[in-house]
Amino acid sequence: MPDTAFARRNVEKVLWLPRYALGDLVTRLVPRRRDTWVVGSAYGVHDGARALVEELVARGRADRVTWLARSPREAADARALGVRVLEHGSWAAFRAATRAAVVVLTHGYGDASRFGTGGALVVQLWHGSPLKRMHLDSPAAMRLPVVGDRGPVPRLLASMYRRGGQRIGLLPVSSTTVAPLMASALGADPQRVEVLGEPRADVLFRGTEEDRRRTARARVEAAVGDLGGRRVVLLAPTWRDGAADPVVPTPAEWAEIEQWLADHDAVLLVRPHPLAVGDWSYRSDAVRLLDAAGEPEVMRVLWATDAVVSDYSSVVLDAAVTGVPLVFLAPDLEQYTRRHGLYAPYEETTGGHVERSWAQALERLSATWPGGPAREAALAHTRALADRYHERRDGRAAARVVERVDALLGAAPATAAQGSVGGTAFFESFHGRNVSCNPAAIDRELARVAPHVERVWSVSRDGVEVPAGATAVRVGTPEWRAARDRADLLVLNDWIEDSWRPRRDQFVLQTWHGTPLKRIALGRRDRTPRLFAAVVKQSSRWSAMLAQNDFGARALRRSYAVVRPMWTLGYPRNDVVVTSSGEQTRRELGVATSRVVLYAPTWRDDALEAPDPLDPTALAERLGPDWTVLVRGHARTLGLRAEVAADRVLDVTAHPDVSDLLALADVLVTDYSSVMFDFSATGRPMVFHVADAERYEQEVRGFAWDLAERAPGPLVRTTEEVADAVARADDPDERERWATRYAQWRADFNPFDDGRASERVVARLLALGALPRR
């Protein structure tokens, strides 16, 4: 019977009911330890489990992770990641599972400990987006020997599946299309199924396309031998539950396949399901077996393909992101649909092209091969599938899962044993010159979720207004030193200017104040040994550093020689940029009915007293009476270096927080300032005034990359060109001109500017115990 494997496992589950009951009792009595993770994976140290553990290790939390290994090889692989390893199924593994705060699975509870997960936050990573119906949605998965899928025992089995599904605390999926399917199949609470992306798919989105293809090709050739420069067709059929696979070619069909491969200078890679490798015995120079023994992770080789042939396997949905033609070969469509069922009509998934034989499949491959008549339509269908099934394409799914777990655990209501959050948080923004930027946003969120925390703000002068409920201490005073020394948490956005060093139990979060396009710290060309020593002294005092995006994380880590964890959570200061209409600030500035252009240049290290290269008065005159120009000097400048006394020109350098100004502006004009990465979260037009670009690049700072190649708006040189660009900014043709670049820019730099960065950062701080519980 083709369903004997399902049936056998189902019988085992029913017979284990007493063990489940005993395990539930034990986990009710044994306390779980905060920020400890137990990981089990049916695939070994691969796929989503590996990606998640690598993320935890990168964040300095390797000592919190225990991997449950089923073999010596798996144990060695897990130890190579730097984590603790226990034997799966051992008493020690059971004890670890009953004590861990988080239990990670890739298939089912048997990955870790079937009987020791009660009370843990269960993270179910799964292993693909389903085309075929699964578990509770599939009659085949609910069958038992003799009785089939009807009667009291199958109903009991379904009840057990649902109970297990309700225990899932987080089920990350790749898209909103997949979310309800996974919730239904596993019986999970739909609110616990979140579109965070799949950690197993992160490898598909990292690096340039050229790098991905080159790396994938190298992995393929390491597994199957040299391909001689030939193109690659991947064949990835699903498992038939032990029945004969109708996709396996007959001898005559193998001959036809060999001829097609020779005619098209191609190689066929056969990637069978791990349980069906024995069905695929044919080998030749043009037909290579790429099984799990040779390459455990199919995701790592998908970019090496030029076409994919599959049936009902989730691999085809992952391969769609590589943009190659997909050929659907389903000789047994009616029978498979009847036994398993599909979540969507097969014709909808395939775009109406269903091949029923190898002859038809080869014909379809020819039609969609480079130069083929159906290629463009096939590629359009591939893109549509990728858009439908993969919404998060930044390669940070594992990071988001870790962050979401931290938030779920950190945001949980305090129990009587834990107590409420207390302690002291010390904030400083731009050396105390104002209350703004990321520290101010974190202060607001901390006051909301942990009102018992004492909040102290460092200020450089009297008159700096601090948030309600907070205390101001003047920089350099005994009160200021005492507050900093006794604080449990310090949140800063710039250098620590004196020789103070934190206690071992203090947590110092360096949020910084922008994603750096210009070279900073150790990235500067004029760096010296003295600068290097000063930078290392700075970063050695930080417990963690916050970054707005992946590029910012890399740039800041290099620039400040950061060895502590880098938190890529988005910038809290941008929460207000994307959630506020700015109307209140408009009224305060007297520009409620005017269109507003914000001019916000960076500073020039070697020319602090030089006039701004753009004349804001002339800009206002050219734009006309409908516009007001707001001019925002950099935090390092004392004021404007240009005349702004004219009507419709306002100096807003002294406004406490630039985020309020970004929220209200209709258009931003900047040069090389990091505000370009903040304002782009709004999607509104930007104009780049780069009058001194060559000098700034060659003599002042230099850039991480060429702004002209990526800017999502025009680069201009004169005040007149700025005015013309601002006036045209809302023209539909002008917006269309920059739409593609702007979308890519936001994908690169604003994936976490969603209005909830403050929430994520504070949840992370609380989860890590940066503040004590009372």
What CATH number has the domain bearing residue 116? 3.40.50.11820
595 and 556 share one domain: no
Residue 401 is assigned to a structural domain of this protein: no
533 and 649 share one domain: no
150 band by pLDDT with thresholds 50, 70 and 90: low
Is the pLDDT reported for residue 100 higher than 80? yes
Which residues lie across from 350 on neighbouring strands?
Answer: none
Structure tokens at 460: 């450089």
Higher pLDDT, 132 or 641: 132
How far apart (Å, rounded) are the C-alpha atoms in residues 309 and 315? 10
The residues, ordered by sequence, that sit 6+ positions from 259 with a Cβ below 8 Å of its Cβ are: none
How far apart (Å, rounded) are the C-alpha atoms in residues 612 and 643? 10
Residue 755 is assigned to a structural domain of this protein: no
6-32 pLDDT, tens per residue?
Answer: 445 544 544 444 554 555 545 555 678
369 and 453 share one domain: no
Which of 534, 556, 571 terminates a domain? The answer is 571
Which of 151, 176, 202 terminates a domain? The answer is 202
- Domain of residue 724 covers 575-749
> What does the pLDDT read at residue 327?
98
344 and 424 share one domain: no
> What does the pLDDT read at residue 605?
57
> What does the pLDDT read at residue 88?
93
How far apart (Å, rounded) are the C-alpha atoms in residues 529 and 522? 10
- Percent of the chain at pLDDT > 90 equals 62
Residue 676 is assigned to a structural domain of this protein: yes
630 and 654 share one domain: yes
Structure tokens at 659: 């985020």
Q: In this structure, are residues 668 and 662 in contact, taking their beta carbons and an 8 Å threshold?
A: yes
Q: Which of 103-112, 142-151, 406-415, 749-758 has the lowest mean pLDDT?
A: 142-151
Residue 309 is assigned to a structural domain of this protein: yes
Q: What would the mean pLDDT of 559-567 be, rounded to a whole number?
A: 88
> What does the pLDDT read at residue 109?
87
565-595 pLDDT, tens per residue?
Answer: 899 999 999 999 999 988 999 999 999 889 9
Q: Which amino acid is at 489?
A: L
738 and 607 share one domain: yes
237-265 pLDDT, tens per residue?
Answer: 998 877 788 999 999 999 999 999 999 99
Strands 326-328, 424-428: parallel, antiparallel or unpaired by DSSP? unpaired
Residue 607 is assigned to a structural domain of this protein: yes
> What does the pLDDT read at residue 14?
46
Q: In this structure, are residues 750 and 677 in contact, taking their beta carbons and an 8 Å threshold?
A: yes
* Total count of domains within the chain: 4
Which of 141, 167, 202 terminates a domain? The answer is 202
DSSP string for 17-41: HHHHHHHHHHHHHSPPEEEEEEE--
528 and 614 share one domain: no
Residue 756 is assigned to a structural domain of this protein: no
How far apart (Å, rounded) are the C-alpha atoms in residues 71 and 40? 12
Structure tokens at 734: 């002008």
Strands 424-428, 471-474: parallel, antiparallel or unpaired by DSSP? unpaired
The residues, ordered by sequence, that sit 6+ positions from 548 with a Cβ below 8 Å of its Cβ are: 514, 515, 568, 570, 571, 574, 677, 678, 749, 750, 752, 753
Is the pLDDT reported for residue 155 higher than 70? no
154 band by pLDDT with thresholds 50, 70 and 90: low
How far apart (Å, rounded) are the C-alpha atoms in residues 424 and 505? 13
> What does the pLDDT read at residue 18?
55
116 and 221 share one domain: no
Residue 606 is assigned to a structural domain of this protein: yes
- Helices 375-389/358-368 angle, 10° precision: 100
Q: What would the mean pLDDT of 718-733 be, rounded to a whole number?
A: 94
The pTM of the whole model exceeds 0.75: no
Residue 769 is assigned to a structural domain of this protein: no
Is the pLDDT reported for residue 61 higher than 60? yes
Reference 267, options 311, 297, 223, 299; nearest CA is 223
Structure tokens at 744: 């890519």
Cα of 668 vs its chain's centroid, Å: 27
Q: Which of 162-166, 544-548, 629-633 has the lowest mean pLDDT?
A: 162-166
Other C-beta atoms lying within 10 Å of the C-beta of residue 749: 23
Strands 287-289, 266-270: parallel, antiparallel or unpaired by DSSP? parallel
477-487 pLDDT, tens per residue?
Answer: 999 999 999 99
Q: What would the mean pLDDT of 639-645 be, rounded to a whole number?
A: 45
566 and 625 share one domain: no
Is the pLDDT reported for residue 642 higher than 60? no
81 and 226 share one domain: no
Is the pLDDT reported for residue 175 higher than 60? yes
Q: In this structure, are residues 488 and 509 in contact, taking their beta carbons and an 8 Å threshold?
A: no
Is the pLDDT reported for residue 194 higher than 60? yes
Q: What would the mean pLDDT of 392-414 be, rounded to a whole number?
A: 81
33 and 94 share one domain: yes
What CATH number has the domain bearing residue 273? 3.40.50.12580
475 and 354 share one domain: no
694 band by pLDDT with thresholds 50, 70 and 90: confident
- Identify the residue whose tokens are 């979310």: 179
